[in-house]
Amino acid sequence: MTATPAVPGRRERNKQEKLDRIIAAAGRLFAERGVDDVTTQEVAAAADIGAGTLFFYARTKGELLLMVQNALYADALQDGRDAAETLDDPVTALLAIAGPIIHCNRTQVENGRTYLREMVFGDPAEPHHATALDIAARTEEVMAATIARTAGVVPEEAAVLAHIVSAILFLAMATSADERDNENILDDVRRQLTALIASTPDQRGLPSGHSRS
């Protein structure tokens, strides 16, 4: 006999409804003006809640931005993962993963930079920060699996390479000037990935897990 899922109570529904309004209001204001030019009071007013209620969901604008952006980054990762699944060239497959993430990060440049800063320096005990770190970890896992599949290296080496790729992608998004478009950034990432993948044992015609003597 299949158990019937529990129906959320009124309190839970009200809480979720407020959360949805907060995310929608913050997302709209941040997209229009950037996180630095929006106050928490403005977000609360746009969400039709009190400032104290907003504080219950997010204590700072940084946490609000994490709340808004996490779902977008998770969707971008899934899009990249889907695009890479049918590709056999390691650099092309990794760029397929990176492309949607770069686009997500660069939709509003300062918001993207602030998101990365909050991910690195935010409170590790804060739930939205923990979610951001989980997305970053899942991104590396997807990249590692892609490298292992397309470059023919063992999982341990693929994980190390994925960590390097993640650092390349992070720096490309965090330090790129406003006037540089996504294609310029992708080109820079492509050049670095090409050099990195070319240095792997399999790409040099060596057995995986070994180096030249």
Domains of the chain as residue ranges with CATH: 10-57 (1.10.10.60), 67-201 (1.10.357.10)
pTM (predicted TM-score): 0.83
Is residue 127's pLDDT more than 70?
yes
Task: Summarize pLDDT for 65-120 with one digit per residue, the tens.
Answer: 999 999 899 999 999 999 999 999 999 999 999 999 999 999 888 899 999 999 98
At 213, the pLDDT band (50, 70, 90 cuts) reads very low
Concatenated DSSP letters of the chain = -PPPPPPP-HHHHHHHHHHHHHHHHHHHHHHHH-GGG--HHHHHHHHTS-HHHHHHH-SSHHHHHHHHHHHHHHHHHHHHHHHHTT--SHHHHHHHHHHHHHHHHHSSHHHHHHHHHHHHHS-TTSHHHHHHHHHHHHHHHHHHHHHHHHH---HHHHHHHHHHHHHHHHHHHHH--TT--HHHHHHHHHHHHHHHHHTSTGGGT--TT----
At 206, the pLDDT band (50, 70, 90 cuts) reads very low
Q: Which residue has the tokens 């979720």?
A: 16
Task: Summarize pLDDT for 145-155 with one digit per residue, the tens.
Answer: 999 999 999 99
At 8, the pLDDT band (50, 70, 90 cuts) reads low
How many whole angstroms from its chain centre is CA 177? 19
Concatenated DSSP letters of 37-68 = G--HHHHHHHHTS-HHHHHHH-SSHHHHHHHH
Rounded-to-integer distance, Cα 169 and Cα 189, Å: 7
Q: What is the pLDDT of residue 211?
A: 42
Rounded-to-integer distance, Cα 197 and Cα 151, Å: 8
Concatenated DSSP letters of 12-32 = HHHHHHHHHHHHHHHHHHHHH
Q: What is the pLDDT of residue 11?
A: 79
